[in-house]
Amino acid sequence: MERIIGKHWHHLPEEEIIELLETSKEKGLDIFEVNHRQERFGPNRLTAKAGKNIFIRFLLQFHQPLIYILLSAAAITLLLQEWIDAGVILAVVLVNAVVGFTQEAKAVKAIDALSRTMSAGARVLRSGKKQEIDAVELVPGDIVFLQSGDKVPADMRLVSVRELQIDESALTGESLPVQKREVILDHDVMLSDRRNMVYASTLVSFGTGTGVVVATGDKTEVGRISQLISDTVELETPLTKKIAHFSHILLYVIILLAGITFTIGLLRGENFVEMFMAAVALAVGAIPEGLPAAVTITLAIGVSRMAKRRAIIRKLPAVETLGSTTVICSDKTGTLTENQMTVTDLIAADKRYKVEGNGYRPEGRILFENDPVGINNESVLKELLRAGMLCNDSGLTNENEEWHVQGDPTEGALITSALKGGLKESILSTRYPRLDSIPFESEHQYMATLHKVIDSDYRLVYIKGSVEAILDRSAYRLNEKESITRIDAEDILKSANELSTHGLRVLAFARKKVDNSVEKIDHPDISKDLEFIGLQAMIDPPRKEAIDAVRTCQTAGIDVKMITGDHILTAQEIGKQIGLRFNTSVSEYKAAYTGKELSGMSDEELIQAAKYASIFARVTPEQKLRLVEALQLQSHVVAMTGDGVNDAPALKRSDIGVAMGMNGTEVAKEASDMVLTDDNFASIEAAVEEGRGVFDNLTKFIVWTLPTNLGEGLVILAAIFAGVMLPILPLQILWINMTTAVLLGLMLAFEPKEPGIMLRKPRNPQEPILTKHLIRRILLVGGLMLAGAFSIFNWEINRGASLEEARTAAVNVFIFIELFYLFNSRSLTRSVFKIGFFSNPLLFAGVGIMIVLQIMYTYVPLVNTLFRSASIGWEVWIRILLIAAGTSLTVALEKWLTNKVNKKKENNKK
């Protein structure tokens, strides 16, 4: 049995396969051999990869620089015996850890979901008897019987088929059921073209078949994908990368400044304990305690906004990642297209008609040269539509104004085109009752139905199939007014080929009149002398909203690429219709590639192909993964959409994995960061827009909060250098940081998106959160806070105020500079009056509560005792407000000058 591993089963003759597997088509395996093989190969299920211990996984959530800073803050506040503040900080740390821990099991869940897809029953032949068993008991060599509605329980080579069609969309991305055959295929045939094989987790949509099991469990194609998911490294998101980098820098700066403060104090001969507490005060001041909460809440608000736009976020940082996206790799079927086959062109009696409308909804006109036509005046057109409706085994259903096909999607499209023409199925079935049929078989490439014609002395056979199969059997052509002429096959073939080059699937239709006594038909009855009626051409059309969404993404500097399991001609046609950009600047690289072409490329060639091409068709799961990695090597932030088992590894590897909620497999959803509830590309564009808004608001919070931390740290440092009393105490610093972060800073998370957000180019993934001009602003405001706090502290001391009163004034300077500066921070580049002064009501609520708390801080005796504050006079308030207003005006001037310089630079570039 060792010989069977790694065989190309599609390439081997049936007899050799039976011999290799040591089985029998007539008897199957005996019970002893089954037991032996179950021990050898194990159960037919996927093996979950062993993960880290739960306790270790939880502890690892604390292994982040920002968490180190917070834990340091908690330790310091505990040393200061400020139990409430320490409790708040530790609670924030714990919440972040729990959220991270919950997301950690995602890969395990994906494996579990794959295991569930393989859980099914199976009908097998063992010891010469048919029996029903659990699919988990299957072994290589088992003979398995398949019928319509079954889930394929293992990878199998087919030994017998009858009209067998398999829905392989979850595995290969192929949008239509695949017709299976008993053939020997070439060695290098791609997975999606292996017509003699069926694979675990796919579905039998029509017909029956018998196969011999060649692979079970982890050795199946879906098992191989399971291994890809397990082995795929999940990347950090741009946000987590930037926050981690920023946190590292902040951590080093805080330690350095605290160390400098402590050392200088000792060198000046100050008391050891006092200098230690001063260093603690500096550290407490420099740590942005509110940053993790702000990040979490801002992202959570983004999640809520996206949910309203039909995008469900499974992982918080994914919100911001969408805003950083530079490339979207989208599946075609159901995301960019309707996932509903639609007849778009009809050819009858040398006339080419266009059909309006998309999907199975029977709404739309039939046009000839842009003018609507009535089928009662077009006899051959009417006959063509009638043939499509009668030579048909499927049906349409209307549930809550949603139209669905029951059966084959192609046949659903034919029924819809007939309904658009005004034909009614109930009337036709009464006027032309079916008597017999010849089902579609791949070797014949056609289907035929025999109908009685009420009140006529003849019966009709309608035939539909491939153009070649119908033309080979046709001698005549149906013309207007039911006249018959000899057929010109070359002319019809030319028309069909022209339609095919546009990615359309073309079906031909013919009829034959037979004697009224005919009750049955067989292949010889329709082998010649058919009357050719016409052609119907169909495609899964693009969503109208997807066309607009692609255009919006391209305007926003986001490249859209199509990665599909469908045929390349179909993919190219859809690509043209939705407006994909085709980069032809480099002649050696094409706009579209097939999976077969990609398989022969080196890594360097693939990287260049991923860069220049916009369409990748008939690709394997490994190739999807390689394409994502190739784009990431070019520093792209990649969003990848998918709905099938085959998409899961690439979804997990991409910076943002987007699964389909309606038609997506559970595997894809578990491997994704975001799920679309409407399977619509337009929802991705909306999510990108929300993601950009989220990053804007996060940046606004950071640019708003850091000057306070900088200012507090500088005040402590300056006091130590100058050898004077601390203008603010560690406890007062905590009051400033915790109250303003919650009541003022967090209100920025509710800022609406600024106008023109989707007219910007994507942020450079390598660009830090804080650009040069934002750092300049932070230093400016931090310096103004230092100057304002020291000035008013010294002013009050010099005029005879108590130490408590002077520190209260200094604390209020910090608070009110933050309050005024909050309005500056509502936009990083524009005036607050240009974005709508009252557009964020929650901000005004936060400002009102903050003012009330600050009045309590200043005048309520109990609070005075707790925070060592004291009452101050109205003239002090005037000085405080003048300093705060002056800071705000300075920032407004800096904004104006920066914008002016930037505009001048842009004009010089032009």
- Distance, CA of 164 to CA of 156 (rounded, Å): 14
Instruction: Give SS3 for 421.
Output: coil
504 touches 573 (CB < 8 A): yes
Q: For residues 626 and 223, what is the distance between their CA atoms, to the nearest angstrom?
A: 19
Is residue 331 flagged as an active site residue?
A: yes
Q: Are 18 and 212 in contact (CB under 8 A)?
A: yes
Give the Cα separation of 33 and 51 in Å (integer). 34
Distance CA 249, CA 272 (A): 27
Which of 155, 331, 540, 673 is an active site residue?
331
Distance separating the N- and C-terminal Cα atoms of the chain: 71
Nearest of 615, 626, 758 to residue 686 by alpha carbon: 758
Nearest to 820 by CA among 875, 781, 859, 786: 781
Give the tokens for residue 135.
Answer: 């699919």
Three-state SS sequence of 618-675: CCCHHHHHHHHHHHHHCCCCEEEEECCHHHHHHHHHCCEEEEECCCCCHHHHHHCCEE
Look at the alpha carbons of 197, 200, 205, 206 in this order and tell me if their dihedral is positive or negative.
Answer: positive
Amino acid letter at 107? A
Q: What share of the chain is helix, strand, coil (3-state, %, to 5)?
A: 55, 20, 30
Phi-psi region of 181 (alpha: psi -120 to 50; beta: other; left: phi over 0): beta
Residue the block writes with tokens 């946000």: 239
Closest CA to 203 of 176, 160, 158, 168: 168
Task: Report the SS3 class of residue 278.
Answer: helix
As beta bridge partners, residue 640 has 329, 657
Residue 42 falls in which region: left (phi positive, over 0), alpha (psi -120 to 50) or beta: left
Distance of CA 718 to the CA centre of its chain: 51
Residue 162's φ and ψ, nearest 5 degrees, are -140, 100
Q: In 3D, which of 238, 199, 241, 234 has the Cα closest to residue 109?
A: 234
Residues in the chain: 910
Q: β-pairing, 178-179 with 197-198?
A: unpaired
**What are the structure tokens assigned to 231, written together?**
């082995």
The answer to whether 149 and 207 are in contact (CB under 8 A) is no
Q: How far apart are CA 69 and CA 22, in angstroms?
A: 65
Bridge partners, residue 192, by sequence: none
**What is the spatial distance between Cα 617 and Cα 624, in angstroms, rounded to a whole number?**
10
Nearest to 335 by CA among 668, 70, 652: 668
Q: How far apart are CA 318 and CA 65, in angstroms?
A: 20
Residues 880/810, Cβ–Cβ less than 8 Å: no
Active site residues: 331
